Structure 1
Amino acid sequence: MGSENDYYLSPEDAALQVVATAVKKKHLRTETLIVNSILGGIFLSVSGMLALGIQAGCKGILAENPMIVHMLQGLMFPFGLVFIVMNGVDLFNSNILFFTVATLHRKTSIWALLKSWTFSWIFNLGGCLIQVYIVNHLGGLTRTPDYIEASIDIVAEKVGDPNWGEIFMRGLASNFLVCLAIYLQVMSRPFVAKVLAITLPIFAFVASGYDHVVADMFLIPTGLVNGAPVSVGVYIYKSLIPVTLGNIVGGGIFSISVPWYLHIHVAQKYKR
């Protein structure tokens, strides 16, 4: 039988591993960061497509009990994050965790943080749009009546109904849980444990109806391509901006309070 350390890292070691990951990412060549980020968008779009398929195929259940549909979608969404983590590619939301902690620990600079966040955001969007149009739309997968209706309904749910402040708060809550998922998988060593560590927080955020900017980079453009009555300008103002800012704040709150303050700052203070 293995020791405890064969199965998980202590919180303090996990926090330092987060820092080490950011330091490694800091030294990536720009073209590697771009490719990594495009792949991150593509991988997360797989989850988006599964969630969209569930909504398209469960219209009756959605009308009677939408929470059941959201819970089914929550079970599908972890797939994309598992693909991202296991392949070591870049996701804007997880880079918020890595670079916030490392910058506070003075192992990366503000410039490295801004470069990582900016490039991963832009090219995550690029990867999502590749999936939206080249793969799914031109491939006919999202042009069936059920998919068209579901994608337009999602746009109304995410952009049409809530106000800017509500969308911001949903983004805040979302990335708090996404960063928790990333942090828990850093603590975990066996593959199955990593998958479970990712699944629980991601299930919670999707089932709760929170907003993740990269996931929405797939879901909302799919609806726009299918004729949702929302302009690109409205999408930018009522989704990209508030969800991005909410994700930064939510991820920052988690990163500052848990790995940096509790598991680095406090832990090192008591070791002195």
Structure 2
Amino acid sequence: MAKAMEDGMYAKATKPIGELFWLALTGGAYIALGFIFFVTTQQGVGPTSGLPIGVTKLIGGLVFSTGLMLVVMSGSDLFTGTTMSLMPTLSKRLSWGMMARHWAVSYIGNLVGALIVVAIIALAKTPLSNGGAWGLVVVNTTQGKLSLGFVQAIALGVMANLAVCLAVWMAFAGRSATDKMLGIAGPIAFFVATGFEHSVANMFMLPMGWVITHVFGAEFWGSDAVQAAGVTQADFSSVTISNIVLHNLLPVTIGNIIGGALFVGGYFWVAYRRKALAEERAAAQAAAAPAEKADGVDRTDGGSHSAR
């Protein structure tokens, strides 16, 4: 599995930039679709909904996993998963520069893909559905994400991408579409239901919250659900572009890199690939030694003496 994951990450990281970006667009867009599904299931959640909060969060986490299922099954490129391209880099198959290129193109492509979905959902006026209940879930979620402390957001990001990369690992282990989807569902439901932070998911949710707060105007703030909640636009003054970038996306991205690159990719590289590579090199050297002696030169000490 470690070798298969390393090979997969190497294959993605060495694609031409245009192809990488193209696949990253759908990576960001499909995770956005998962978050849309999540928001839809969370409308009306509260003390009067009749469901325990844990159950509603579990439902939200399970439906959100649809996003990663679409990413994996379509072969799209997701920044949080690409952090595991550290594996072929540690094996010296991929340069640090190529790894950084992969991460950068994937991140930018995911952001553009997520923002395209934000624009489509805004044009569709989905936030106004059910008397504004859909949009209310988004702005409340956005405000909650922007209230996190910097270190807290990093820690939540670590846990989110630990789960996401383990879900990708489980998908690699699956032999059928059903195997892969079941492998993905558990870890993703775990991270979403618990409230961990995923940078690519937030590339949709936070800009969507900003658009609802600053663009929709009286049509949203005067809707039935918003009026019943007793909130106004002034209550969401923290939803600004600078807060989105500095107070969430930046620390969450740092945490995602730690959780995916170090705690999954790097961890299992040390557990499995480091020893295997050492054994492969030793075997290659042993196989090469007789051939080197046969041509009349002993190269075992650097080739400085002729064989006698």
Using structure 2 for the length normalisation, give the TM-score: 0.78
Q: Tell whether the 8 Å contact from 1:61 to 1:69 is kept in structure 2 after alignment.
A: no
Q: Measure the CA separation in 2 of the matches of 1:28 and 1:60.
A: 50
Distance change >3 Å, CA 50–CA 194, structure 1 → 2? same
Structure 1 position 49 matched with structure 2 position 67: no
Q: Tell whether the 8 Å contact from 1:18 to 1:102 is kept in structure 2 after alignment.
A: no
- 1:7 corresponds in structure 2 to none
Structure 1 position 165 matched with structure 2 position 151: yes
- Given candidates 101, 112, 123, the residue that maps to 2:87 is 101
- Given candidates 87, 102, 107, the residue that maps to 1:116 is 102
- 1:194 corresponds in structure 2 to 180
- 1:207 corresponds in structure 2 to 193
- 1:71 corresponds in structure 2 to 58
Instruction: Name structure 2 gaps, 5 residues minimum.
Output: 214-235, 283-308
Matches of residues 79-98 of structure 1 in structure 2 within 5 Å? 79-97=66-84
- 1:3 corresponds in structure 2 to none
Structure 1 position 127 matched with structure 2 position 113: yes
- 1:180 corresponds in structure 2 to 166
Structure 1 position 15 matched with structure 2 position 24: no
- 1:257 corresponds in structure 2 to 267
Structure 1 position 142 matched with structure 2 position 127: yes
Give secondary structure in 2 for the equivalent of 1:226. Answer: helix
**Percent sequence identity over aligned pairs:** 27
Kindly provide the amino acid, as one letter, of the partner of residue 140 in structure 1: K
Q: CA RMSD in A?
A: 1.8
Kindly provide the amino acid, as one letter, of the partner of residue 82 in structure 2: N
Deviation sequence 1:109-137 (CA, Å, 0-9, x none): 1111111111111110111111112x111
Instruction: Name structure 1 gaps, 5 residues minimum.
Output: 1-13
Matches of residues 240-255 of structure 1 in structure 2 within 5 Å? 240-252=249-261, 253-255=263-265
- 1:32 corresponds in structure 2 to 19
What displacement does 1:65 show?
3.7
Q: Specify which structure has the higher proportion of helix.
A: 1
Q: Measure the CA separation in 2 of the matches of 1:51 and 1:151.
A: 10
Using structure 1 for the length normalisation, give the TM-score: 0.88
- 2:221 corresponds in structure 1 to none
Q: Measure the CA separation in 2 of the matches of 1:40 and 1:50.
A: 16
- Given candidates 198, 221, 238, the residue that maps to 2:247 is 238
Q: Tell whether the 8 Å contact from 1:62 to 1:68 is kept in structure 2 after alignment.
A: no
Aligned pair count reads 255
Kindly indicate whether structure 1 or structure 2 has the higher relative contact order, using CA contacts under 8 Å at least 6 residues apart: 1
Q: Tell whether the 8 Å contact from 2:162 to 2:259 is kept in structure 1 after alignment.
A: yes
- Bigger-Rg structure (1/2): 2
Q: Tell whether the 8 Å contact from 1:22 to 1:108 is kept in structure 2 after alignment.
A: no
Distance change >3 Å, CA 51–CA 196, structure 1 → 2? same
Q: Tell whether the 8 Å contact from 2:82 to 2:103 is kept in structure 1 after alignment.
A: yes
What displacement does 1:267 show?
4.5
Q: Tell whether the 8 Å contact from 1:75 to 1:203 is kept in structure 2 after alignment.
A: yes
Give secondary structure in 2 for the equivalent of 1:86. Answer: helix
Q: Tell whether the 8 Å contact from 2:161 to 2:259 is kept in structure 1 after alignment.
A: yes
